[in-house]
C-alpha cells in the first residue's frame, strides 16, 4: 500500500501531538482532584508533566514515525495506538520496578519483593485506565490530524 501521499500536513501532526495528550490528562486530573486530594490544576499539571507528555514524546512519536507509512491513519488505529502509548510506560514501570514492600489503602500489593494478587489487580486497573484514557487521546489525535483532511491523489 502506497501511503506516501496520504500523510497529513506536518502542522496538523504537530498540533495533534500538542493537543491530544492534554485531554486525557484533564479527564484523569478530574478523577484525582477532590476534597482530600490535589486541586484540579495541580493534578492536571502533575498528570500532564509526568504522565501524558512524556508518554507522547517517548512512545507516541516513535510509534507515529514507524507506523505512518505502514498503517492508514484511521480512527480505530489511532485510538488503539493511543491506548498502547498511554498504557505502555505504566505497565513497564509496574513490571520492572522492584520493591520489598508496598501497600494501597492498607492492602499489601508487594511483599518480600513479589507482587501479590491484589497488587496485580491494582496494576491492571491502572494500566486499563491508562489504556482507556489513551484511546481518548488517540481519538483527539485523529480529530486534529486526520479528520476532514483529504489525501492528495
The Cα 13–Cα 64 span in angstroms is: 9
Q: What's the pLDDT at 2?
A: 46
Q: What is the pTM of this model?
A: 0.87
Torsion, Cα 37 40 46 49, to 10 degrees, reads 170
The tens place of each residue's pLDDT in the chain, 153 residues long, gives 444 556 789 999 999 999 999 999 999 999 888 777 789 999 999 999 999 999 999 999 999 999 988 988 899 999 999 999 999 999 999 889 888 999 999 999 999 989 999 999 999 999 999 999 999 999 999 999 998 766 555
Amino acid at each position: 500500500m502506497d501511503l506516501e501521499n496520504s500523510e497529513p500536513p506536518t502542522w496538523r501532526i504537530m498540533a495533534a501531538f500538542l493537543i491530544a495528550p492534554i485531554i486525557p490528562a484533564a479527564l484523569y486530573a478530574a478523577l484525582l482532584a477532590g476534597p482530600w486530594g490535589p486541586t484540579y490544576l495541580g493534578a492536571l499539571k502533575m498528570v500532564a508533566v509526568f504522565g501524558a507528555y512524556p508518554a507522547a514524546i517517548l512512545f507516541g512519536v516513535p510509534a507515529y514515525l514507524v507506523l505512518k507509512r505502514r498503517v492508514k491513519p484511521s480512527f480505530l488505529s489511532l485510538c488503539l495506538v493511543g491506548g498502547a502509548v498511554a498504557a505502555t510506560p505504566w505497565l513497564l514501570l509496574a513490571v520492572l520496578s522492584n520493591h520489598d514492600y508496598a501497600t494501597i489503602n492498607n492492602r499489601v500489593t508487594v511483599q518480600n519483593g513479589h507482587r501479590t494478587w491484589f497488587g496485580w489487580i491494582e496494576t491492571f486497573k491502572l494500566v486499563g485506565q491508562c489504556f482507556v484514557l489513551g484511546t481518548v487521546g488517540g481519538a483527539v489525535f485523529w480529530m486534529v490530524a486526520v479528520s476532514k483532511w483529504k489525501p492528495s491523489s
